[in-house]
Structure 1
Amino acid sequence: MRTHTRHVFMCVGPRCTENGERAQAMFELMGEKIDALPELRVKRTRTHCMVACRAQGPVLVVYPEGVWYNRVDEAAVERIVTEHLLGDEEVTDLIFHRLGEGDTCPAEE
C-alpha cells in the first residue's frame, strides 16, 4: 500500500445507480485521475451502500476531513480531484454532509 494522507471511500452500489454500473465507472475514473497525479497521496476504496444517498449516488467520502459528496458524475470527479484532493479546497457546492455536523435527514418530530 502506498503512503497516503487522505482516504476516499466511494459507493459502487448497486442501489445508488442502476446495478452500480455508473458508480463503478466513476470509481474507475477517480482511480485514473488520482493515478495521473503521482504527487497525490490518496488511497481509494470501493464500498457497498453507505445508506445515505436515497438514490442520489454515487456517494463519495473524503477522510480525514469527513466530507461527503453525492451525485458524483464525471464533472464532480474532476472537481473533487483537482480542487479538494490536489488543491486542498473542498468543493462546497457538491457537499451534502460533513462528519460531526448534523444529520443527513432531519429528525422526525
Structure 2
Amino acid sequence: MRTHSRHIFMCTGPRCTEDGVRAEAMFGILGAAIDARPELRVKRTRTHCMVACKNQGPLALVYPEGTWYRCEDAAAVERIVSEHLQHGREVTDLVFHRLGSGDVLLGDAIDD
C-alpha cells in the first residue's frame, strides 16, 4: 500500500447510476487522475452504495477532512483531485456533506 496522508472513498453504486456503470467509470477516472500525480499521498478505495446521495451520486468521501463530494462527471472528479487532494482546498460547490456539520445544500453559504 502506498504511503498516504488522505484517503478517498468513492461509491460505485449501484443505486446512484444505472447498474453503477457511470459510478464505476468515475472511480476509474479518479484512479487515473491520482496516478497522474505521483507526488500525491492518497489512498483510493471503492465502496458500494453509501445510501446518502439521494440520487445525486456517485459520492466521494475525503478523509481525514470528512468532506463528502458529488462526482457527477469527469470534470468534478478532476477538480476534487486537483483542488482538494493536490492543493488542500475544498471544492465548495461540489460538497454534499461535511463531517460534524451535516448536509450542505447547493447555494448555501459556507463558514470556514
**1:84 is paired with a residue of what secondary structure?**
helix
Give the equivalent residue in structure 2 for 1:14: 14
Q: Which runs of 5+ in 2 are unaligned?
A: 106-112
Structure-2 separation of matches of 1:103 and 1:29: 25
Pairwise mapping of residues 29-68 of structure 1 onto structure 2 (< 5 A)? 29-68=29-68
**1:29 is paired with a residue of what secondary structure?**
helix
Contact 1:52 1:104 in 2 (8 A): no
Give the RMSD, CA atoms, in angstroms.
Answer: 1.4
Structure-2 separation of matches of 1:46 and 1:76: 17
- Consecutive aligned runs of 4 or more in structure 1 exceeding 3 Å deviation: none
Q: Which runs of 5+ in 1 are unaligned?
A: none
Give the equivalent residue in structure 2 for 1:85: 85
Contact 1:11 1:60 in 2 (8 A): yes
Contact 1:60 1:72 in 2 (8 A): no
TM-score, normalized by length of structure 2? 0.89
What is the count of residue pairs matched by the alignment?
105
Identity %: 70
TM-score, normalized by length of structure 1? 0.91
